[in-house]
Amino acid sequence: MKTVRKPSTQKPARNLLHLDEQLCFALYSTGLALNKVYRRLLAPLGLTYPQYLVMMVLWEREGLSVSEIGERLFLDSATLTPLLKRLEAMGLVTRTRASHDERQVIVELSAEGRALKTRAKSIPADLLCASECSPDDLVAMKQQLESLREALARNG
């Protein structure tokens, strides 16, 4: 009589060095896909994704120093300064030295930069459509990513 083997209920061992098992790669490749969507959405505005982030910070609150913008976006001034110079050349922002401390550069929106906010209003909804997720799912993912970011920042 032949014995029949039952299928194993154990999951196969995961190889933690496989690319597809890496959280970092899932985040990285998702970021690439996200940037591709933003490239399409931002093209009519003439903005890159990092420029869009700076504009969003300034649409929330104007008259910020370069260091304040950098803190908000987790960028250093060496990365942020060329980006701000480009936005200034596009006529979207102005950069001036602070009167109380000439080491500080204050960034403000121009009239054109303020007007661009109206043209950008559809971008969050367009991104929601592109994600094919529900608003609740996106809020939950965002909260999980923020918790992950905070933990990694504490332990980095």
| Phi/psi at 30 (5° precision) | -65, -40
> Hey, what long-range contacts does 8-12 have (CB within 8 A, 24 or more apart)?
none
Handedness of CA 142, 117, 128, 42 (dihedral sign): negative
| Phi/psi at 64 (5° precision) | -95, 150
Enter the pTM of the model. 0.86
The model's pLDDT over 66-125, given as tens digits with 9 standing for 90+, comes to 999 999 999 998 999 999 999 999 999 999 997 788 788 999 999 999 999 999 999 999
